[in-house]
A and B are shown apart, each in its own frame.
Chain A
Amino acid sequence: MRPQLIFALIFAGLIGLSLVTGKIDPYYYTVIIFIGINITMATSLNLINGFTGQFSLGHAGFMGVGAYVSAIASTFLTTHGLGTEVMGGVPVMAIALLVGGLAAALTGLAVGIPSLRLKGDYLAIVTLGFNEIIRVIIQNVDFKIDGISYVGGARGFAVPQLSSFLWVFGIALVAIYFVENLINSTYGRGFLAVRDDEVAAEAMGVHTTRFKVRAFVIGSFFAGIGGGLFAHFIQYITPDNFTFLKSIEIVVMVILGGMGSTYGVILAAILLTIMPEALREFSEYRMIIYSLMLIVLMIARPQGLFGSETFTRFFAKRKAAANKV
């Protein structure tokens, strides 16, 4: 079966599922929505950290930019005649997410161009630094339009509820499809080349900086959209939702899943969203277990739990088969 068809079928299934979400217990519904958002976040970070081999610790910063910018857009639009009454809020949400994603992508470009010359732990620290800078800037922004408060600094920002099961998982599906297709295209092999051997890639004529920046911009775009989905689901955001600890959480998903394995990263995103909830009774031990797991994983199995590239290979095989015909 062609992957496009598979994705179309999954999408149809999502529409079917979305019809029954109203019957789900609100608590479980929340967990499910967070799974979807985390899949988008982890898949997009995987493009940067996993496929391109750059270590970013600032993904939550781009998520924050997307969350705030999309919230500004939707708040403005809903108070200016384009609210949920227009086509069930689809246009306003679509515009908000797109604007948020683009803003995050632009931020990604601005952050990426200077910092991607750095490598390894230096890059990690610089992206972490940008994450904190973004957070501090948001903390200091607060303005009013027509008497309505926007951004709200450290106080927080009330956001209209526009997210839904279909939005969240539809976007996750688009992110997965996009990243997988990109990586398995001839062009996309450049990302892997940068990861595997930068010097060799450069020698082969791959413009490594350009690929790194592209990965960063695309990753940030989806992180921004993920932030938009998040904001419009929880309906109240503060800068503290987007600290570097949130970035670390997403990084752990990518690492646990096995860097560069979309399939593994999705599983890890699901697992790491459910695990803290499942461990609620032991909530004091939750983060201790989490951190110990990270340490033990690095010592025992640094390639991640699902370190094989089954999903990617599946795509690659299809492509190869298609090319033969």
Chain B
Amino acid sequence: MGEILQQLVNGISLGAIYALIALGYTMIYGVLRFINFAHGDIFMIGAFSGYFVANAVSHILPTGSIGAVIVVFVASMTICALLGALIEYLAYRPLRKRPKLTVLITAIGVSLFLEYLSQLLFGATPRGFPEIISNHALIKSKAVTIDVVGAVVIITSFTLMLALRVIVMKTKIGTAMRAVSFNQQAASLMGINISKVITFTFMTGSALAAAGGVLYAAQYPSIDPLMGILPGLKAFVAAVLGGIGNITGAALGGMIIGIVESFIGGTFLSTYRDAIVFAILIGILIFKPSGILGKNEVEKV
């Protein structure tokens, strides 16, 4: 029983991070209808930004202090938001009216570029991530242990998801995002500058991925330039599982994938963990491509 509860807690904190990444996939898919393959690498850049910022400010704000944590999050989210906007502007915008596959291939190129540029700049060997959140057990009982990092991961992720929901549902730019994702032409007839909305979407999605990267690194404190590939792919699976284009779905999908992965990790199937996540993707795409919360979209001819 205790084992199950512990797996559930671990699963939720991992799933919360997947959810943060999945939100970016789903938002970008919503406005541009393409899979931003490089999204997992933004997550990686987020972790590295956190690493460098934490080290840079460590003599003013001691690592582990509240101030340092806030600076690390704000800085790495800002860096990635700008990076996301830059990538969209340079690589994707020229392809706005091209076939989807051209854009997908470009995204693969961007992904490889970010990975290998990071290898050149930061080296391929993993680095230890500074202990930005001083860790100790918060709740320790027979059944379950929750440590500070786990709690911070869960609370921060949920706060960010809530903030995103408020932005998307209550603000003007958020409403415009939903309008653009429904019908770009109609949105432009409202006076909405589509490009600005797309830029905003990339910035928001990338900032969330950056937060995910910092949280991930805080929990699993070893970072390297290829660390974004698998979490990125799994978060994509989460986005599809929840119904791509659907924000609540992405959060839900992330949770499910995190929890499933955590439970599998505790069984004899643990070495098949990654394969099972992909099997879920394949199952969903084949049997219910619209995902759990997505609406069935009839393919336009």
Contact = CB atoms under 8 A, between A and B. Distances in A.
Within the complex, are A and B direct neighbours (CB within 8 Å)?
Answer: yes
Interface string B101-115: 111111011111101
Contacts of A28: none
B235 to A, nearest CB: 12
Interface stretch (B43-51, B57-65, B148-156, B276-284): B276-284
A306 B36 CA distance: 27
Interface stretch (B90-98, B164-172, B203-211, B248-256): B90-98
B35 interface: yes
B169 to A, nearest CB: 28
Contact of B275 (A128, A133, A293, A294): A133
A291 B116 contact: yes
Interface string B271-296: 11011001101100110010000000
Interface in B43-93: 91
Contacts of B99: 302
A287 B117 CA distance: 8
Given A121-B101, A130-B282, A288 B113 contact: yes
Interface in B115-174: 115-117, 119-120
A288 B289 contact: no
B272 A136 contact: yes
Interface string A260-297: 00000000000000000000000011011011111100
Nearest to A300: B94
A201 interface: no
A139 B301 CA distance: 42
A121 B113 contact: no
A295 B289 contact: no
Contact of A132 (B34, B102, B112, B274): B274
Contacts of A8: none
Contacts of B105: 251, 255, 294, 298
A294 B101 contact: no
Best-surrounded residue of A130, A284, A288, A295 (most CB of chain B within 10 A) = A295
A189 B140 CA distance: 68
How many chain B residues sit at the interface, stated as a range, is 35 or more
A248 interface: yes
A285 B112 CA distance: 12
Contacts of B237: 129
Contacts of A117: 286
Interface in A82-97: none
Contacts of B112: 248, 287, 290-291, 294
Contacts, number: 111
A125 interface: yes
A119 B301 CA distance: 13
Contact of A298 (B95, B240, B278, B279): B95
Interface in B200-259: 233, 236-237, 240
B77 to A, nearest CB: 25
Given A129-B281, A285-B120, A290-B112, A136 B102 contact: no
A209 interface: no
B29 to A, nearest CB: 9
Contacts of A284: 119-120
A291 B119 CA distance: 13
Interface in A294-314: 294-295, 298-299, 302
Contacts of A255: 105
A126 B102 contact: no
Nearest to A114: B286
Given A122-B289, A284-B120, A288-B120, A129 B108 contact: no
B196 interface: no
A251 B111 CA distance: 15
Interface string A106-145: 0000000011011111101110111011001101100000
Given A129-B281, A129-B282, A299 B275 contact: no
Nearest to B108: A248
Contacts of A129: 237, 278-279, 281-282
B100 A120 contact: yes
A291 B101 CA distance: 16
A139 B271 contact: yes
A204 B233 CA distance: 38
Contacts of B102: 298, 302
A55 interface: yes
B100 A115 contact: no
A12 interface: no
B277 to A, nearest CB: 9
A319 B43 CA distance: 53
A298 B106 contact: yes
A31 interface: no
B279 A294 contact: no
Contacts of A295: 91, 106, 109-110, 113
A302 B108 contact: no
Interface of A: 55, 114-115, 117-122, 124-126, 128-130, 132-133, 136-137, 139-140, 199, 248, 251, 255, 284-285, 287-288, 290-295, 298-299, 302
14 contacts: A55-B104, A115-B282, A121-B100, A124-B35, A124-B104, A125-B285, A128-B233, A136-B272, A248-B108, A288-B116, A291-B112, A291-B113, A294-B109, A298-B98
Given A115-B286, A129-B278, 15 more contacts: A115-B285, A120-B100, A122-B289, A126-B282, A133-B282, A136-B272, A137-B272, A139-B271, A248-B112, A255-B105, A291-B111, A293-B109, A295-B91, A295-B113, A299-B91
